[in-house]
Structure 1
Amino acid sequence: MATLPLEGIRVVDFTQALSGPYCTLLLADFGADVIKVERAGSGDDSRQWGPPFVGDTAAYFLSVNRNKRSVALDLKTEHDRQIAVQLVESADVVVENWRPGTADRLGLGPDAMRTLNPRLVYCSISGFGNQSQRPGYDQVVQGTSGWMSVTGTRDGTPTKSGIPIADIASGMFAAHSILASLVRRHRTSEGAYIDIAMQDALVSMLTYQAGSYFATGQPPQRNGNQHATLAPYGTFDTADGQVNISVGNDRQWEQLCHVIAVPELAYDARFKTNSDRVTNSVELRAELESRLTLEKTRNLLDAFHSAGVPAGAIRDLGEVLTDPDLAARGIILNSTHPRLGELKSPGSPWHIDGESSTARFAPPDLGQHTDEVLEELNLLNLHARKGVESHLERDRV
């Protein structure tokens, strides 16, 4: 792509772990210059969140920090805080996910920074919003948001999502709020303050489960791999495994019945409409699996696809991440790290004018770009050098 959408936009990134780094990863993939400010000496906590490690760096960190530059600062010192302030003064966007109040105590809070830089888009990500001191971690928020209460089997225990959905969702909502604010700034020249709570992000994604509660006054139950309001819509046993079937209308239901050679089932009074099928879902499952378990998964999927019945295999990540069709979409990115060698990661899912995201450069070593960024800020003179020389030496790779 000749010009990435966010080329020329500078993001100062005070985040660590996942919610904030995922937000800034999305911005970096769009072409923003993301300057990741890390603690001198130790860096982002997730650098040590392993195993597994690639060399001495956790795979966790490497997965969400490509296309960024790392600057190591000790924000407990006045000298380095002033460097951070000058970074913010040069920025279009700031993202932080410290506990609420920390940014203000460091002199880097939204009021002070937006006074210094009125066009600044400043985004805070926290567990429960900027008025709460409660620490927010994905596991905790999946529970407090109600997400776990609707995840898992009906007779089992509440279960967290297999991915850190509170972190990922809040990072995504933060990124699109930043983009919307930049569009508004283009019209008005006004910056913005964005307050993203991980719990809010998950509550906003409850959609039809919340709609069910508002309609009935009853909290929805867990449904395992089945759907509360559609049938057949879920996971079903086959002769050699399982298959996902997602019937969304009566025409697809009729096609399914023809594929499994029981066309009369489509007109059975128990199953004629979606409402009937949901009401009689136990009997429906028994009828379907008595036929599905006679056939192998691959044969069923081929027949379903030919008939236009929505269905799919249940694959592990080894199968997914080596899928040639996925590779053809350009979603698996490759980069070369100077110490760690070849790295792979899933890219951002967009395609714009036929082009997709790229790994322009590998996830940075701690402090790898400190000198480079200070030089851009015209701070690599003798006076500034005297104050930062010691920690630059310590953090240089």
Structure 2
Amino acid sequence: MQKPLEGIRVLNVTQALFGPYCAMILADLGAEVIKIEKPGTGDMNREWGPFFPNVQGPDKSGYYVSLHRGQKSITLNLKTEKGKQILKELVKISDVLIENFKPGTLDGWGIGYEELRKINPRLIYACGSGFGHYGPYKDWPSYDIIGQAMGGFMDLNGWPDKPPCRAGSSIGDIVAGMFLCIGILVALRYRDMTGKGQKVDVAQMDSMIAILENAVVRYSIEGKPPTRIGSKHPTITPFDVFKAKDGYVVIAAGNDAIWRRLCTAMGKPELADDPRFRTNPLRCEHEPELKPIIEEWTKDRTRWEIVNLLLKHDVPSAPVYNVAEAVEDPHTKAREMVVEIYQPQYGKVRIAGCPIKFSETPIKIDKPAPLLGQHTEEILTQLLGYTKEQIEELKKENVI
């Protein structure tokens, strides 16, 4: 069955997480993604754990596998003239190039946007970086934690009496990778209408500011920056984590009607009309008094006792899962959100699935990540017409 992006060829000249996450989504959706890696070592994330037991060398990383399923790998030394020439030949027959080098790096190598657009005016050149390709900080190096820090996210994350906290996953990279993917898809649509390619520029700092939810407008209206308040919501109460007998649950009373149903479920209907808690603004004002009342009810019940009872009253609630519980949950399996692939040199491994479910073009993730340089000869011969003798010469010159 055809996938949504079949027929789209993507050159994945990225490393670490930001760019690879974007390319992973495109590959899941059916694009042919060719990962271009440094000969000998490959992407830096090939050295990031967890590592497969009894596997040595550049193909040992489970981290790499989870990001590069279903892609092809070609090794190419882009600092050599022949390496650059091969990239340009690939650009001629490709739709998208993704890179997340420091801005100006590929320009300095003679393979930046202005040069490549001359070769293929229909090319979508997608670049991800910490601070974008213009602005006073464009030359600063960056990783996920830098974007989280300067985008205002870390100062919102954590507890008032503790230091700013990085999120448990690398959302500075992941969210930026999603935005870069959206930009690519929009640019492809524009190309469908006009025949023109373009440059797509996405920054980690920009992306983190974009997901601050209501924090920006709160600062605009109130004149002071919001800061850390723990796990509760800044403008909705109760909307928080509560201690249970065997762990934690979340309860989300997003409006006054749900609040009344929560009071009934707890066997405390009188709370609904308590002058302190009658409306959401009042509950927010008196949250320090309300949370102990709710937690007094939750603390002697198990997570599922609480959740099942609240769901019967149509009150949004859920147990706080650890990773193992989330992975093994029957709903996760029903939605195919953890899938099994067969990875060469190791065997069966489970990775996260694709969260986008299509009625006409369902996504199936069943192909492994490539070994370093696994498809170099295939791509050079089948796509570019190189002979075996030419390929041997490129190997001797350390181009591939």
Asked if the contact 1:347/1:357 (under 8 Å) is kept, the reply is no
CA distance in structure 2 between the aligned counterparts of 1:219 and 1:286, rounded to whole angstroms: 27
2:343 matched to 1:337?
yes
CA distance in structure 2 between the aligned counterparts of 1:224 and 1:98, rounded to whole angstroms: 35
2:237 matched to 1:231?
yes
Instruction: Indicate the residue corresponding to 2:288 in structure 1.
Output: 282
Q: How does 1:360-379 map to 2 (within 5 A)?
A: 360-379=366-385
2:12 matched to 1:22?
no
Deviation string, structure 1 residues 17-74 (Cα, Å, up to 9, x no partner): 1000000000000100000000011100000112444523122111101011000011
Instruction: Indicate the residue corresponding to 1:245 in structure 2.
Output: 251
Instruction: Indicate the residue corresponding to 1:31 in structure 2.
Output: 30
CA distance in structure 2 between the aligned counterparts of 1:301 and 1:157, rounded to whole angstroms: 32
CA distance in structure 1 between the aligned counterparts of 2:85 and 2:247, rounded to whole angstroms: 60
Q: How does 1:197-212 map to 2 (within 5 A)?
A: 197-212=203-218
Instruction: Indicate the residue corresponding to 1:179 in structure 2.
Output: 185
CA distance in structure 1 between the aligned counterparts of 2:16 and 2:125, rounded to whole angstroms: 19
Instruction: Indicate the residue corresponding to 2:98 in structure 1.
Output: 95
Q: In the alignment, residue 217 of structure 2 is paired with which amino acid?
A: G
Q: In the alignment, residue 117 of structure 1 is paired with which amino acid?
A: N
Asked if the contact 2:231/2:240 (under 8 Å) is kept, the reply is yes
Distance 1:387 1:104, change over 3 A: farther
Q: In the alignment, residue 66 of structure 1 is paired with which amino acid?
A: R
Structure 1 runs, 4 residues or longer, greater than 6 Å off: none
2:133 matched to 1:126?
no
Asked if the contact 1:40/1:391 (under 8 Å) is kept, the reply is no
CA distance in structure 2 between the aligned counterparts of 1:304 and 1:342, rounded to whole angstroms: 39
SS at match of 1:207: coil
Instruction: Indicate the residue corresponding to 2:6 in structure 1.
Output: 7
CA distance in structure 1 between the aligned counterparts of 2:35 and 2:330, rounded to whole angstroms: 33
2:172 matched to 1:166?
yes
Asked if the contact 1:379/1:385 (under 8 Å) is kept, the reply is no
Give the deviation of 1:240 after TM superposition.
3.1
Asked if the contact 2:34/2:74 (under 8 Å) is kept, the reply is yes
Which sections of structure 1, spanning at least 5 residues, go unmatched?
A: none
SS at match of 1:242: strand
Q: In the alignment, residue 203 of structure 2 is paired with which amino acid?
A: A
Asked if the contact 2:12/2:97 (under 8 Å) is kept, the reply is yes
Asked if the contact 1:330/1:356 (under 8 Å) is kept, the reply is no
CA distance in structure 2 between the aligned counterparts of 1:297 and 1:349, rounded to whole angstroms: 26
CA distance in structure 2 between the aligned counterparts of 1:355 and 1:312, rounded to whole angstroms: 31
Q: In the alignment, residue 145 of structure 2 is paired with which amino acid?
A: Q
State the number of aligned residues.
Answer: 393
CA distance in structure 2 between the aligned counterparts of 1:13 and 1:335, rounded to whole angstroms: 21
**TM-score, normalising length: structure 1:** 0.96
CA distance in structure 2 between the aligned counterparts of 1:48 and 1:70, rounded to whole angstroms: 16
Asked if the contact 2:27/2:33 (under 8 Å) is kept, the reply is yes
1:318 to 315, 324, 338: 324
2:83 matched to 1:112?
no
Q: In the alignment, residue 254 of structure 2 is paired with which amino acid?
A: G
SS at match of 1:351: coil
**TM-score, normalising length: structure 2:** 0.95
Which sections of structure 2, spanning at least 5 residues, go unmatched?
A: none
Quote the RMSD (CA, aligned, Å). 1.6
Distance 1:323 1:239, change over 3 A: closer
Deviation string, structure 1 residues 97-120 (Cα, Å, up to 9, x no partner): 011111112221011111110011
Instruction: Indicate the residue corresponding to 2:47 in structure 1.
Output: 48
Q: In the alignment, residue 28 of structure 1 is paired with which amino acid?
A: A
Moved more, 197-206 or 327-336: 327-336
CA distance in structure 2 between the aligned counterparts of 1:338 and 1:296, rounded to whole angstroms: 43
Asked if the contact 1:349/1:356 (under 8 Å) is kept, the reply is no
Q: In the alignment, residue 92 of structure 1 is paired with which amino acid?
A: D
Deviation string, structure 1 residues 368-389 (Cα, Å, up to 9, x no partner): 0001111122332256325313
